[in-house]
Amino acid sequence: MADKNFKKPDTNRVTMADVGRLAGVTQVTVSRALSHPDKVSKKTLHSIQDAIAATGFVPNAVAGALASKRSKLVSALIPSLTNVVYTSFMATFSEHLRQNGYQVLMSETGFDPANEDALIATHLSRRPDAMLLTGVRHSDKARKQLQGAGIPVVEIWDITDIPIDICVGFNHSAAGRAVAEYLNAKGHSFAATITADDERALRRQSAFAERFSTFSRTTVPDANTGGIASIGAGREAMAHLIDQYGFQSGAVFCSSDLSAHGAIIELRTRGLKVPQDVAVVGFGDQDFARDIDPALTTVAVDRLQLGHLAASSLLDRLTGQPTKSIHDLGFEILTRASA
């Protein structure tokens, strides 16, 4: 809005035509030299390369994209930039795509679903060649827009029978149930949960609570940490469970390793022993999970695999290869000291 409609101080931008002039060929030949060097004679190739070096030519990908209808851009919408769970995935994903000549345009959606539609439109205006979305719950409008764009779309971190195009993730309810079974097998008869305000985390929590209560016939109290999981939020939630529910023995299933870490700190500060008094299970298997004391029992998802699959299935679509559209990565409970 504060847009001054300011015109860029026409930097003497070098074009392919300029390079061509210097090398004694037309602009088209320069274009060819760059994209199909084998279709150009060694001699002209050389003089073009010299001309490029001399002029400091940087190709204009904007013009290229307009002409070719391929932007070599992949849009990625993730809930949070500061959550390592998402960014570590993105690092793998981006790297894989970059190696194939694509750049990733990433935006944070936050945890407000309303935000997503607007962001999708903004991203589509850049004419990305493909798009990555987090989760499988998207508005009808979003689905329609994406279908209209006619580009490959991958939805990650969750699975569904009816993906927009491709999905790669795992079943969150199944994960919640598996943890309930694990803790029951360990002989726990009381359990609580610490959950962030995230749709998938809530699904794990409710599946956990439902299953666990079939074993213990007690209800499973939950402490919600709000939007973002953190060590601080985990401490607070644990404090709440202790103060409000007198929770001093049993097991706690946290929606994130971070809040689990916080819960452990709070328990120890109060003189409670982990896992003897309270067992703690995290989620995500972040890098620190094995390094804290006690080492954290948690649910692991192969994020590397996730990043690779998301990228390679898009790449397959982009190159016309056949691809599976539903990838269930599963998960694994890693037993460590905390539970």
Q: Which of residues 212-251 bind a second copy (CB under 8 A)?
A: 230-232, 235
26: partner contacted, choices a second copy, DNA, none (Cβ within 5-8 A by kind): DNA
State the minimum distance, in angstroms, from the CB of residue 167 to DNA: 29
SS3 181: helix
319: partner contacted, choices DNA, a second copy, none (Cβ within 5-8 A by kind): a second copy
**With CB under 7 A as the contact rule, which of the stretches 17-25, 209-217, 261-269, 281-289 interacts with DNA?**
17-25
The secondary structure of 228-276 as a DSSP string is S--HHHHHHHHHHHHHHH---SEEEEESSHHHHHHHHHHHHHTT--TTT
Residue 214, interface with DNA (CB under 7 A)?
A: no
Q: What tokens were used for 203?
A: 């699904």
CB atoms within 10 A of CB 2: 3
Residues 127-156 contacting a second copy, CB under 8 A: 127, 129, 144-145, 148-151
User: Site map for a second copy, 12-31, x if CB under 8 A?
Assistant: --------------------
The DSSP secondary-structure symbol of 293 reads: S
* 192, 225 Cβ separation under 8 angstroms: no
* 48, 41 Cβ separation under 8 angstroms: no
CB under 8 Å to 140, separation ≥6 — which residues?
A: none
27: partner contacted, choices DNA, a second copy, none (Cβ within 5-8 A by kind): DNA
**With CB under 7 A as the contact rule, which of the stretches 34-42, 180-188, 203-211, 217-225 interacts with DNA?**
34-42
Cα gap 177→171, rounded to integer Å: 10
Among 4, 9, 43, 56, binds DNA (CB under 7 A): 43
**With CB under 7 A as the contact rule, which of the stretches 7-15, 110-118, 175-183, 307-315 interacts with DNA?**
7-15
Q: Is 47 or 305 the residue whose CB approaches DNA more closely? A: 47
Cα gap 81→162, rounded to integer Å: 27
In the block, residue with structure tokens 């150009």: 40
Q: How many residues bind a second copy (CB under 8 A)?
A: 73
Residue 213, interface with DNA (CB under 7 A)?
A: no
Cα gap 285→181, rounded to integer Å: 19
Interface ranges with DNA (CB under 7 A): 5, 7, 13, 15-17, 20, 24-29, 31-32, 34-35, 38-41, 43-45, 57, 59-60, 63-64, 66-70
